Amino acid sequence: MTQFPTFEVIPAVDMQDGEVVQLVQGERGTETRYGDPVEAAERWVEAGARTLHLVDLDGAFEGERANASAVEAIVDAVDVPIQLGGGIRTAADARSLLDRGVDRVILGTAAVEDPDIVAEISDRRPGSVVVSLDAKGDEVVVSGWTEGTGLDPVEAAARYEALGAGGILFTDVDVEGQLAGVRAERIDRLADAVSIPVIASGGVATLSDVRACREAGAAAVVVGTALYEGAFSLAEAMDA
């Protein structure tokens, strides 16, 4: 559990076309824009963030990382651990990002299509792979949440732990980006199934949602829309 010695609230910096955005249920065309990614990253670190969660949304949808320059600028600008997802499709991609200063790579589609990629990266860089399990209902979905896989998130999490994953990012797609509240029982099931950290994501609207994630056994929670819309401050969330 060295990644998260205590429960963390991790601000999300989701990037599309070089800007920070938040989507509703991951759907393109629903975005609200929040300006420059580097400024957002610096603001969250000044506010006390101990980790940042970066997502290249163009990469997630197109499979090509389109916001690489913004990612590099953030790596250079801040001195907290950075986890990055979106469009990382090969072990070589992942290794080059880790060499460049990203601390953890988040693999979704790539890990589902080729589970061995997790072992391939983790063997050289233990703890550096977070596998993203995005669930609609009780099924893992991939390719920007557009394709079902037939995988059960709990079974998948245990399998990736065995392959060397350093953590699981669990996103409840049904409530993502809607400020609708979290469904703690789903986090609880997953956290019970593995001993690696589970990072919860999706649906956080209130400070009680943050507390619910912690009580369900998550090691950390990623918060996007609620922070950008000022539902609560990062300091309040960390105190909660």
- 17-32 pLDDT, tens digit each: 899 998 776 677 888 9
14 annotated active-site: yes
**In the chain, which ranges are continuous DSSP H helix?**
37-46, 57-62, 68-77, 91-100, 109-113, 116-124, 153-162, 184-193, 207-215, 225-228, 234-239
Instruction: Write down the pTM of the prediction.
Output: 0.92
For 46-60, what is each residue's pLDDT tens digit?
999 999 999 998 877
- Catalytic choice (103, 134, 172, 209): 134
103 annotated active-site: no
pLDDT for the residue numbered 1: 40
- Beta strands 32-33 and 19-22 are antiparallel
pLDDT over 70 for what percent of the chain?
94
What value does the mean pLDDT take over residues 32-36? 92
- Beta strands 129-136 and 139-142 are antiparallel
- Is residue 81 within 8 A of residue 103, CB to CB? The reply is yes
Sequence-ordered list of residues with C-beta below 8 angstroms from that of 142, at least 6 positions apart, any chain? 108, 109, 112, 113, 134, 149
Q: How far is CA 161 from the centre of its chain?
A: 17
- Catalytic choice (14, 56, 172, 209): 14
Q: Is the pLDDT of residue 234 over 90?
A: yes
Phi, then psi, of 192 in degrees rounded to 5: -70, -25
**Which residue segments constitute the domains of the chain, with CATH numbers given?**
8-239 (3.20.20.70)
Q: How far is CA 149 from the centre of its chain?
A: 19
